[in-house]
Amino acid sequence: MAGAVVITRPLAQARPLAARVAALGRTVEVLPLLDITPLPQPTELLAALARLGAPTPYYQLVAFVSPNAIDAAFAHIKSVPPGVTWAVVGEGSRLALAAHGVTADNAQIVSPFDTAHSDSEHLLQTLDLAALRGQPALIIRGDGGRELLADGLRAAGAVVDVVPAYRRAVPPLTAALEATLRRLLAHDNDWIITSSEALRGLCAWFTELDGRASGAAPSCVVAMQQQHLIVPHARIAETAHNLGFSRITLTGSGDERLLAALQSRL
């Protein structure tokens, strides 16, 4: 009998996928590995969006690193500015743009050609970097994060502003969370992991649990490494391999591919 499907996305993105997984007849556990919170004073974001919303938008390119970045930005965008190229790294971000009225019908949207490599490296390969030389570009992301996209655009000659739109953090390991983790480890489950940072946080929880154990208690880290992971990006798969996981299914970007992988295990 199939175990549960553990969805580890931030809560806002986990709920729609959870409903679709439940429709397959699978038991669903929603276990957000990252807490997403708005910035208390998004001064830089508001200033950048003011330039974006001018009669003639200042930025030629606006790149979002995640659906959370899109949702945080569009909380302040009143209308979609014309003539802007929108860049995203995955299908989830395309859907987030569509939810705010930005689609291929009314805007130019660029994302990596290879859905198995939905990341900054492959987004840079997809963009027309020569056309961005000397042009202003805006990257909207979480507080902190990888510099690869900004560095790549600057190397191509673009004038780049990087602004934070939200904060993300691994939740603390509470007693209730510990009980949930131990319960999940007792079964062979499918874990949907959509962030390398989140996976590292999950493994840190299990390392902490092992540190609390006494005597010859079974290793939680080893037990977790034996679980099955479903990941949308090659970089997450590489992180999982490096953390000792061997049962990994790489699907490519988009919920349809995640669901197809689950159906193949019914």
pLDDT at 206: 95
Last residue of a domain, one of 145, 168, 191: 168
CA distances from 109 to 36, 89, 93 (A): 25, 10, 10
Q: What is the pLDDT of residues 33-75, one digit of tens each?
A: 999 998 999 999 999 999 987 778 899 999 999 999 999 999 9
Q: What are the DSSP calls for 77-110, one per residue?
A: --SPPTTPEEE-SSHHHHHHHHHTT--TTTSEEE
Q: Which residues are within 8 A (CB) of 57 and not within 5 positions of it... i.e. 6 or more apart?
A: 51, 81, 82, 83, 84
Question: What's the pLDDT band for 11 if we cut at 50, 70, 90?
Answer: confident
Mean pLDDT of the chain: 91
Residues 245 and 162 in one domain: no
Residues 218 and 135 in one domain: no
Domain containing 254 — which CATH number?
3.40.50.10090
Number of domains observed in the structure of the chain: 2
pLDDT at 46: 95
pLDDT at 1: 46
Residues 88 and 180 in one domain: no
Note down the domain range covering 239.
5-34+172-263
Residues 76 and 141 in one domain: yes
pLDDT at 47: 95
Q: What percent of the chain has pLDDT over 70?
A: 97
pLDDT at 119: 81
Residues 57 and 150 in one domain: yes
Residues 15 and 103 in one domain: no
Residues 129 and 229 in one domain: no
Residues 159 and 179 in one domain: no
CA distances from 155 to 48, 119, 140, 151, 159 (A): 21, 18, 18, 6, 10
pLDDT at 113: 83
Residues 123 and 68 in one domain: yes
> For residue 219, is pLDDT > 60?
yes
pTM: 0.84
pLDDT at 178: 95
Residues 56 and 142 in one domain: yes
Residues 10 and 122 in one domain: no
Q: What is the pLDDT of residues 222-252, one digit of tens each?
A: 999 999 999 998 889 999 999 999 999 999 8
Last residue of a domain, one of 127, 143, 168: 168
pLDDT at 214: 67
Residues 24 and 54 in one domain: no
Last residue of a domain, one of 138, 168, 198: 168
Q: What is the pLDDT of residues 116-165, one digit of tens each?
A: 677 888 899 999 999 999 999 999 999 877 789 999 999 999 999 999 99
